[in-house]
Structure 1
Amino acid sequence: MPIVSLENTITIAISVRDRHLSAQWYAEKLGFELLYHADDAGWSEVRTMTEGVTIGLGEQAEPTPGNSVPVFGVADIASARKALEAADVRFDGETETIEGMVSTATFYDPDGNALMLAQDLTG
């Protein structure tokens, strides 16, 4: 039995210089659909052709090529984090919340690869 119950969604977070341009590229080249631009958060998302899988585009001045983070949807981030911490999973800082949008928490696998939990707050 897993420690945390994940939802049927995953977002692959990618660092990009210009998320509007990147979203257009993903739409034109791969046929992905723009879901939204959250300009205040520096974040955009596109829907892939795979059910429940999106690509999140996080804007950074100097993105690191090849750096992507799987983001797993959870219904209750506080309980999921508590359960993983009780199992000695290491987290990076506090859970971050953008009111009315999302709460996220970054954690690491045994090799130091970043993963993230996300609770959708859009209702």
Structure 2
Amino acid sequence: MSLVSLKNTITLAMSVRDRHASAEWYAAKLGFELIHHIDEAGWSELRTNVDRVTLGLGEQAEASPGNCVPVFEVADIAEARGKLELAGVEFDGETDTIEGMVSTATFYDPDRNALMLAQDLTGQS
């Protein structure tokens, strides 16, 4: 039995040096469709050709090749995080919130692979 209830959406988040150029590359090469650029958050998101799977591009000055963080959407991030913490899951700092947009919390599996929970705050989920 699962500790938290995940929604049926996943975002694969990667760091890139230029998310606008990367978004164009993914659109041209793989046919992904731009959902939005959120410049104030340094974030772009694309719809893949896999139902309910999106690609998120976070802009970083030094992108690390091979970095991919699966982002699992939850209805209530505080509740989900609390249950995982009670079960001994390690989180990386506090939950980050961009008001009216999203709350995220990074956590680790036993091998220190980063994973993330996200709660959509736009009301569109």
TM-score, length-scaled by structure 2: 0.98
Instruction: State the identity as a percent.
Output: 76
Q: Aligned partners of 1:55, 1:73: CA distance in 2, in Å?
A: 13
Alignment of 1:72-91 (within 5 A): 72-91=72-91
Shift of 1:120: 0.3
Partner of 2:22: 22
Q: Aligned partners of 2:77, 2:38: CA distance in 1, in Å?
A: 21
Shift of 1:55: 0.4
Shift of 1:86: 0.4
Shift of 1:106: 0.2
Shift of 1:122: 0.5
Partner of 2:11: 11
Q: Aligned partners of 2:55, 2:67: CA distance in 1, in Å?
A: 13
Partner of 1:62: 62
Flag structure 1 segments of 5+ consecutive residues without an equivalent. Answer: none
Partner of 1:41: 41
Partner of 2:71: 71
RMSD of the alignment, in Å?
0.4
Flag structure 2 segments of 5+ consecutive residues without an equivalent. Answer: none
* Number of aligned residue pairs: 123
Partner of 2:118: 118
* SS across alignment from 2:2: coil
Amino acid at match of 1:52: R
Partner of 2:94: 94
* SS across alignment from 1:7: strand
1:105 aligns with 2:121: no
* SS across alignment from 1:3: coil
Q: Aligned partners of 1:101, 1:56: CA distance in 2, in Å?
A: 14
Q: Aligned partners of 2:32, 2:122: CA distance in 1, in Å?
A: 22
Shift of 1:29: 0.4
Give deviations 1:52-83, integer Å, cap 9, x for gaps. 10000000000000011000000000000000
Query: Which consecutive aligned stretches of 4+ in structure 1 deviate over 3 angstroms post-superposition?
Result: none
